Copies of this chain bind each other. A is one copy, B any other.
Amino acid sequence: MIVVIQCKDQVGLVAGITGVLSGEQLNIVSLREHVDKGENRFFIRIHIEQETDSQALEAKLQPVLPPDAVIKVNPLPEKKVVVLVTKEYHCLADILVRHHFKTLGAQVQCVIGNHDVLQNFCQRFDIPFYLVSHELQDKTAFEKQLTGLIDKYTPDYVVLAKFMRILSPGFVARYTGRIINIHHSFLPAFVGANPYRQAFERGVKLIGATAHFVTNELDEGPIIAQQIIPVTHSHTAGDMMKAGKEIETSVLAKALHLVFEDRVLVYKNKTVVFE
């Protein structure tokens, strides 16, 4: 069982929390704690050997914590996720393969695409695919269709697996802290469109990918994971894009793994990641 807590810092928090656990005869397998001195903020993740009643444990923890504390007591996965895609297959395929072989740590409930390119692939894995085209309707209507579908599934997370539409503040607010995106650059380099073309023009020797939570600032949300891959003068912009897909796939996989295991805590525009 995983206990994740964040609150303002004060002396005695760890003692208080672990005292409660010890009183319940719960055994700590692994504990990670972090205090952000600048923000005076306390973060902790505790992996407990046993399973116990979540709500009862939360209730016992509350008295030893400040009133602002956010407590999550989670059984290890399954999280539920909805995946949004456009045309590129690499991230989706990685997710669906892991899901198919039960190593994703989450339940993929459906895939929504604004193109039908990946419909056939989803069908091969018996995953419901919905085509919601952004054409022939305005953004409000488009997003209404999306949220209608998503909300039917009540997912824990919405994963943008190379979904190439910018979402409105209203959409983002509806799923605050629950939308995960893969951006095809080493943020904050090459914000926005066509980062591989930008990287090629600049003559960089490394290209990157960034998995992050989505907020209303484009490509400015809290970063979960980043990775790079070396490139050389012999890479065209197209070669960089190909090389980039490899790390997009692996960095999104890593970020999802971290999130699904409750290893990522968000505060303001940053993450605390207890790997």
In the complex formed, the residue of B with least CB distance to A189 is B189
B233 touches A204 (CB 8 A): no
- Interface residues of A, dominant DSSP: mixed
Q: How large is the interface on A (under 10, 10 to 19, 20 to 34, 35 or more residues)?
A: 35 or more
A31 touches B29 (CB 8 A): no
When chains A and B are docked, how far (Å) is the Cα of A28 from the Cα of B31?
Answer: 13
Q: Residues of B contacting A253 with CB < 8 Å? A: 246
- Docked complex: A104-156 residues within 8 A CB-CB of B: 121, 124-125
In the complex formed, the residue of B with least CB distance to A36 is B233
Whole-angstrom distance from the CB of A209 to the nearest CB of chain B?
11
When chains A and B are docked, how far (Å) is the Cα of A94 from the Cα of B11?
Answer: 40
A33 touches B31 (CB 8 A): yes
In the complex formed, the residue of B with least CB distance to A33 is B31
Known: A89-B97, A202-B223, A271-B233. A28 touches B32 (CB 8 A): no
Contacts A/B (CB < 8 Å), 24 sampled: A9-B27, A11-B27, A14-B18, A14-B21, A14-B31, A15-B15, A15-B19, A15-B21, A15-B22, A28-B33, A30-B35, A100-B121, A124-B124, A124-B125, A186-B186, A186-B189, A188-B189, A203-B223, A203-B270, A205-B224, A205-B225, A206-B227, A233-B273, A246-B250
Q: A186-B186, A187-B202, A189-B189 are in contact. List 7 more A-B contacts (CB 8 A).
A: A11-B22, A14-B21, A19-B19, A29-B35, A32-B32, A186-B208, A188-B190
